[in-house]
Amino acid sequence: MANATSVQYEPVAEIGGGAYGTVYKARDTESGQFVALKSVRVQTDQNGLPISTVREVALLRRLEQFDHPNVVRLMDVCATKRSDQETKVTLVFEHVDQDLKTYLERAPAPGLATDRIKDLMRQLVCGLAFLHSNRVMHRDLKPENILVTSGGQVKLADFGLARIYSCHMALTPVVVTLWYRPPEVLLQSSYATPVDIWSTGCIFAEMFRRKPLFCGESEVDQLGKIFEVIGLPSEDEWPTDVTLLRKHFPSLVPRPITEFVSEIDEQGTQLLLNMLTFDPLKRISALKAQEHPYFYDVEKLTQTKR
């Protein structure tokens, strides 16, 4: 981890504040290119940075060697000692001008073409399959941290940060949205990579709707909104390690997903339902999603465009 060198990056503008603190657009004074800076203050012990942080950063750096087209590039990591107890770790990422949220908002009515949605989804699933195959869980996928370049390339951002920050996050007043959270996280059950697939399903639906699928105001409200669409899961499927019981929810049957996502075709519907499956063990994996028939004709489309 480089020491200091923050002089090399000259902040130009503040581009957002999330749960992880402020993000700056900056200029790399050596290359002249724009970058995105994300800093976190880490409590240090006698040996310097906690081993968990060093490990997480090392993993992010290792991913960098693959240079995956659908994952935002981590260009540098700088550590600046602020005191004996605290070190500022700055992650330097490539800068992409817009996120998927802005991209969807900017799309002229009636919204994105179905072929465009398919292409964006294919790239998103591809980036996710790469992260999961390298044992990286995103944990906070939402339109704001999926970047879209001017050429229409999708890049996942902010992956791996949840682990770096969760150990050291100061309590911030930022409210982290619940809308893309899977049932197992809302129920505070154990979770793994399927959490990202649920979030991807929510984003898939949103690309058609141009508004979020489940807009809950609390964990319980969010679950209620989910069950209104997918139905109340059976007693067998309900996790046993949770305090919130199934009987606290009204008995609801699944409604056709096309009631909520009207322009989606048959293959898309099937893929979406495979993603929005209550039981994480039955949810489709990113690798399997890549091979879904929904994407069969997308390669042809991309080739003809070229």
Secondary structure of the chain as H, E, C letters: CEECCHHHEEEEEEEEEECCEEEEEEEECCCCCEEEEEEEEEECECCECCHHHHHHHHHHHHHHCCCCCCECCEEEEEEEECCCCEEEEEEEEECCCEEHHHHHHHCCCCCCCHHHHHHHHHHHHHHHHHHHHCCCCCCCCCHHHEEECCCCCEEECCCCHHHHHHCCCCCCCCCCCCCCCCHHHHCCCCCCCHHHHHHHHHHHHHHHHCCCCCCCCCHHHHHHHHHHHHCCCCCCCCCCCCCCCHHHCCCCCCCCHHHCCCCCCHHHHHHHHHHCCCCCCCCCCHHHHHCCHHHCCHHHHHHHHC
- Among the listed residues 76, 119, 140, 158, the single catalytic one is 140
Is 221 considered catalytic here? no
Task: Provide the annotated active-site residues.
Answer: 140
